[in-house]
Amino acid sequence: MKIREIKIGKVSIPLKKPFKTALRQVNSAEDIIIKIISDTDEIGYGNAPPTAVITGDSQDSVIAAIRDTIGPKLIGMEIDNMEAIMATLDTAMLHNHSAKAAVDMAVYDLFGKLHNIPLYKLFGGYCNKLTTDLTISVNAPDEMVRDSLEAVQAGFTDLKLKVGTDVAMDIERVKAIRQALGQDVKLRLDANQGWKPKEAVRIIRRFEDMGLNIELIEQPVRAHDFAGLKYVTDHVDTDIMADESAFGPYEVFQLLAMRACDLINIKLMKAGGLHNAVKIANLAETVGVQCMMGCMLESKVGITAAASLAAGRQIITRSDLDAAVLLAADPVAGGVNFAKNELWIAEAPGLGITDIEGWQEIK
Ligand SMILES: C[C@H](N)C(=O)N[C@H](CCC(=O)O)C(=O)O
Ligand SMILES: [Mg+2]
């Protein structure tokens, strides 16, 4: 099976409510979805939601990277020669991790189809069901309490609260939510780089002293401040997870060597796809650091790919794969199935995706 053609398209999917973090606010998921067509007429699907504030990618940069630079180098390559395809993808150009992730995912999809194997089995087949958290956007405390109660009512047992905009307000937010929910719901926080290292230590110690029972805190400080991240990790009891800092395998190697964090958030759009995400999982597993599989605001294409890896590997103990739940519509036929807070991986070959409604090709 050879790569014959790469088609690039996009979908715009409205969100149920605005998604707000310390880094950005959006009302829709703007996803680039690609189709890699084989000489046997099979289609491999991949996606890239450009998240400029995190990965530096825009819609235009993703399209240009795939259409003008990466795509032409891959035409004619054998899907069975994954090693050569991944080396070509890696060396085609620097950066552009979201574009590379879309292509990598579609190649894996075709590889799974060629060998008639679901991707979660290819990655280890550890389980076929995951529990995801649900993200609560950063808002005024009373609105976040309402959203959290609604999420629990809908069956979510783990909530990821966005914070990081204002230290005093963050304490109010978390205190009010914990009081409203009681102790049974798992609360993890994501500051999206919003605190300074000493400020982060102060606020996390306050959470600890107040008995707010926070499971973990994601990315308290600026992405490039590895020393600051380590300072926070070393000075609090709560587990600290690297997200924006844990970009690709090289950054994760550095973070682990420094012991700068307790946990790693793997995202395909940061890593540049499944091939590199596997390397991250291997690095973390080698030193016994658990991972979470995360996502951007994206369609079910990327969520299915991420869930396939998470289900395959035991070291990926947590999932933040809620993007499809946050969307008001699902244009993706096939792929992972959602039931309340659970994701079920399909037994179909590859990603198991069969169609994308409303997909518009970009020439
Ligand atoms: C959607 C997911 N739960 C999430 O919160 N991801 C963010 C970044 C997503 C974005 O801004 O599109 C994160 O973990 O920081
Ligand atoms: Mg995060």
Cα of 8 from ligand 2 centre, angstroms = 27
Co-location of 149 and 199 in the same domain: yes
Co-location of 165 and 224 in the same domain: yes
Co-location of 279 and 136 in the same domain: yes
Q: Is the ipTM of this complex over 0.95?
A: yes
Co-location of 300 and 214 in the same domain: yes
Predicted local confidence at residue 126, as pLDDT = 98
Co-location of 126 and 70 in the same domain: no
Co-location of 112 and 217 in the same domain: no
Predicted local confidence at residue 221, as pLDDT = 98
Co-location of 109 and 137 in the same domain: no
Co-location of 85 and 196 in the same domain: no
Cα of 65 from ligand 1 centre, angstroms = 23
Q: Give CA–CA dist 328/201, Å, rounded.
A: 37
Co-location of 192 and 167 in the same domain: yes
Cα of 335 from ligand 1 centre, angstroms = 21
User: What is the position in ligand 1's atom list of the atom closest to the CA of 24?
Assistant: 11
Digit-coded pLDDT (tens) for 195-210: 999 999 999 999 999 9
Active site residues: 162, 267
Residue ranges in the chain modelled with pLDDT below 50: none
Predicted local confidence at residue 363, as pLDDT = 84
What is the domain-level CATH number for residue 251? 3.20.20.120
Mutational test site, ligand 1, from 135, 161, 165, 326, max ligand atoms within 8 Å of CB: 135
* Structural domain count, the chain: 2
Co-location of 249 and 310 in the same domain: yes
Q: In 3-state terms, what secondary structure has residue 214?
A: strand
Residue nearest to atom 7 of ligand 1 (CA): 296
Co-location of 307 and 265 in the same domain: yes
User: What is the position in ligand 1's atom list of the atom closest to the CA of 297?
Assistant: 12
Q: Give CA–CA dist 305/351, Å, rounded.
A: 6
Co-location of 232 and 254 in the same domain: yes
Does residue 98 line the site of ligand 1, with CB under 6 A? no
Give the domain range for residue 156.
120-356
